[in-house]
Amino acid sequence: MKNNSPKKSTREKILEATIELLWQHSYGSVSVDDICQAAEVQKGSFYHYFPSKVDVVIQSFDKLWEDSKPVIDNIFLASLGPIQRLDNYCDFMYQKQKEKSERLGKVLGCPYVTCGSELSTLEERVRHKLNEIFSLSAGYFEILLRDAKIEGLTSITDPQNVAQKMLSYIAGVMYQAKLKNDVEIIKRDLRPGLIRYFDLVKSELIPELIN
Calculate ∠ Cα 74-182-136, nearest 5°.
30
pTM value is 0.86
Average pLDDT on 162-170 reads 94
Q: How far apart are CA 140 and CA 50, in angstroms?
A: 31
Any idea what DSSP says for residue 200? B
Residue 82 makes CB contacts below 8 A (sequence gap 6+) with 144, 145, 147, 148, 151, 153, 198
| Lowest mean pLDDT, pick from 70-74, 161-165, 196-200, 202-206 | 202-206
Question: b or e along 14-24 (b: 16 or more beta carbons within 10 Å of the residue's beta carbon)?
Answer: bbbbbbbbbbe
Residue 191 makes CB contacts below 8 A (sequence gap 6+) with 86, 87, 90, 210
Q: What fold characterizes domain 76-210?
A: Tetracycline Repressor; domain 2 (1.10.357)
Question: With pLDDT > 70 as the criterion, what percentage of the chain qualifies?
Answer: 91
Q: Is the pLDDT of residue 207 over 50?
A: no
Would you place residue 2 in the very low, low, confident or very high pLDDT band (cuts 50, 70, 90)? Answer: very low
CB atoms within 10 A of CB 108: 22
Give me the residue spans of the domains in the chain: 76-210
pLDDT for 113 equals 83
CA 190 from chain centre, in angstroms, equals 14
Would you place residue 64 in the very low, low, confident or very high pLDDT band (cuts 50, 70, 90)? Answer: very high
Q: How far apart are CA 69 and CA 205, in angstroms?
A: 31
Phi then psi dihedrals of residue 99, to 5 deg: -60, -45
